[in-house]
Amino acid sequence: MPIFMDRRKISDLKVAIAIAQLHLNYLKLQDKFNCKVLNHWFDEKREIAFSLISAPNEKYLIDLHQQAESDLPLNITELDSSSVDVFLNQLELDEILQNNKYPLIKTPVSQTVMVIGVLLSLTKTDDIIRVRECLKEFKKTTLDIIDQFEGIVVKQTSDYFIVSFNSATKGLKCAFKVQKRFDAYQKKNEMQRMSLKIGFNAVTPAIEKEEHIESLINLTRRLAFISQQKIIITTEIETLYKNENWNDFKDKNRLKCLYPDDIRFLSTLMEYTEKNWNNPNLHVEDFEKHLGFSKSQIYRKMIAIVGKSPNAFIKQYRLLRAINFFRQKQGNISEGAFDCGFSSPSYFTKCFQKEFGIKPSDYIEITKTF
């Protein structure tokens, strides 16, 4: 197919972000228009962005650009084979096309962030020293795996890691390995009450801007929060990974991809929950009013996206906040129950024990040494 070059002058940071977003939109839509993004990079010295795209003809590329909904005008030039060789670093075009593998993004056009967490349920009879050592060993193993795939730990707490990768491939391969190690480790140590949670997301550059970093991390933590047995990823990660590994998209059964509509629903749901979770009068009906869906629609979407009914979701969210409350030693059980939106300490205790396998009083006692 003919190869086209899209060349753009970067006048300021806003334009750079728009160009990067346009590129990601191309990646998401390219199959629909029978196009392939071959390469994309920034020439920082000349402040120019280049994209190479193969398309049956110019019209396909125009249609792709229009569907990408960018304010940037289309600025393309069809290249001859000698020019293509230059822009692809002298790689033989015939060999590239035959292998159906293309180098993607020499300098990062997106930032990928992963959140890896472990949720632990306990019983009063658990050997706490053993539990603590098991968690410590698994965290060390996870850090070693992250290092193998050149991940950078941005933040580490007792519950989770926030990790940055310079490619979707390295990030997902890291996640797969962590997940497989966790499965084997859980079986070996009979730690069936441990559950692994992983969310993986990507955004366009200008990551130095604090609001972009915060937005990226918040969404990724939400993805990890709703994950159960599968790694939750966004379409950006799926697209980047597929384009870096054209015919090698393995372990699909370990992934769950949320599409833009799902992400918008999840973001709205979590934002509302994070603001109102400790209100004892918060009910499913409030979700209906705020999210703009009927009761049955919200139920179906939450089962599909979150894996829980609205009531179960609210309850679990409050209980997880209760754990954080106790870890910070902010008060007793009654204070924790009311602070987390429960109407009575006895009902709170019942729900806590059902969720985590232990009474809150015992949980407080045995986690003092954690």
191-207 pLDDT tens trace: 556 789 999 998 655 44
pLDDT of the residue at 128: 66
95-118 pLDDT tens trace: 433 443 333 333 344 578 899 998
167 pLDDT higher than 90: no
pLDDT of the residue at 13: 63
Please compute the mean of the pLDDT values over residues 230-253 and round it to a whole number: 77
Rg (CA), the chain: 24
Please compute the mean of the pLDDT values over residues 179-187 and round it to a whole number: 84
Which strands, in side-by-side order, build the sheet including 111-120?
152-156, 160-165, 111-120, 194-203, 231-234, 255-258
87 pLDDT higher than 50: no
306-360 pLDDT tens trace: 999 999 999 999 998 888 888 776 668 888 888 888 988 999 999 998 888 788 8
148 pLDDT higher than 80: yes
264 pLDDT higher than 50: yes
| 205 touches 143 (CB < 8 A) | no
Residue 32 structure tokens: 């629909």
172 pLDDT higher than 80: yes
